[in-house]
Amino acid sequence: MSEPIVVTDSVRVPAWAITVSASRASGPGGQNVNKVATKIDLRVDLHGIEGLSEHARDRLHRIAAHRLDADGRLVVTSQATRSQADNLEDARAKVRALIAQALVRPKPRRPTKPTATSREARIAGKKRRAETKRARSRPGAWD
């Protein structure tokens, strides 16, 4: 059984919510790549994450929607290195980063209005464009 993933003082993924499996990685590694299972497949039960608010849990679900398996678990893989231990640590770091990203409350968007100067500039540009088009037409067509 693996150890828990600590994100903050109050948010952590307990060991029972983590499932780790290893398989053969693709890519470089010579003869080693055919013998040793270095690719890490780490799955996290989202309902098992402790200290996560409902809003943060919803954000995590949206952020990681493409990483969820059929059972609703978060799936993170790593085959960056030739070492199984390094890949496990890399996968744990990815999970930590995803949960930390979900903890950040998005800043609410406040709609703004155009300034008076920008409105005047827009109208002036429209008038210039209209004058250009008017100059291209037949003489006397606008009288």
**What's 20's domain CATH number?**
3.30.160.20
Domain presence at residue 43: yes
**Containing domain of residue 84, as a range?**
5-103
- Residue-level pLDDT at 84: 85
- pLDDT band at residue 6 using 50, 70 and 90 as cut-offs: confident
Domain presence at residue 117: no
Residue environment code for 93-112, b if the CB has 16+ CB neighbours within 10 A, otherwise e:
ebbbebbeebbeeeeeeeee
> Could you tell me whether strands 12-13 and 5-6 are parallel, antiparallel, or unpaired per DSSP bridges?
antiparallel
Domain presence at residue 116: no
What's the chain's length in residues?
Answer: 143
Domain presence at residue 118: no
User: Cα separation of 29 and 142, whole Å?
Assistant: 77
Domain presence at residue 97: yes
Number of domains in the chain: 1
**At a CB cut-off of 8 Å and minimum separation 6, what does 95 contact?**
5, 13, 42, 44, 74, 76
- pLDDT band at residue 112 using 50, 70 and 90 as cut-offs: very high
Task: Copy the structure tokens of residue 9.
Answer: 């003082």
Asked if 54 and 105 count as a contact pair (C-beta separation under 8 A), the reply is: no
CA angle 56/61/43 to nearest 5° reads 110
pTM value is 0.71
Domain presence at residue 93: yes
- Residue-level pLDDT at 80: 84
Domain presence at residue 137: no
Domain presence at residue 110: no
- pLDDT band at residue 123 using 50, 70 and 90 as cut-offs: very high
